[in-house]
Amino acid sequence: MLHLNRKTEYALLALEHMCLKEKEKARHINTREVAEIYHIPYPLLAKVMQELSRRGFLKSLYGVNGGYVLAKKASDITVADIAQIFEGPLAVAECFRDAKITCPQWNDCLIKDPFYELNRKLHELLVEMTIENLAMSNAS
Please report, as ranges, the residues that interact with a copy of itself according to CB under 8 A. 1-5, 8-9, 12-13, 16-17, 20, 37-40, 83-84, 87-94, 104-105, 108-111, 113-115, 118, 121-122, 125-126, 129, 133-135, 137-138
Q: Is residue 42 a contact residue for ligand SF4 (CB under 6 A)?
A: no
Dmax (CA) of the chain: 60
Which one, of 97, 140, 139, 138, lies nearest residue 119 by Cα? 97
Q: What is the DSSP letter of 57?
A: S
| CB of 78 closer than 8 Å to CB of 89 | no
74 vs 53: CA distance, rounded Å: 15
CB-nearer residue toward a copy of itself: 5 or 75: 5
Tell me: does residue 138 bind ligand SF4 (CB under 6 A).
Answer: no
Closer by beta carbon to a copy of itself, 20 or else 63:
20
Q: Does 51 bind ligand SF4 (CB under 6 A)?
A: no
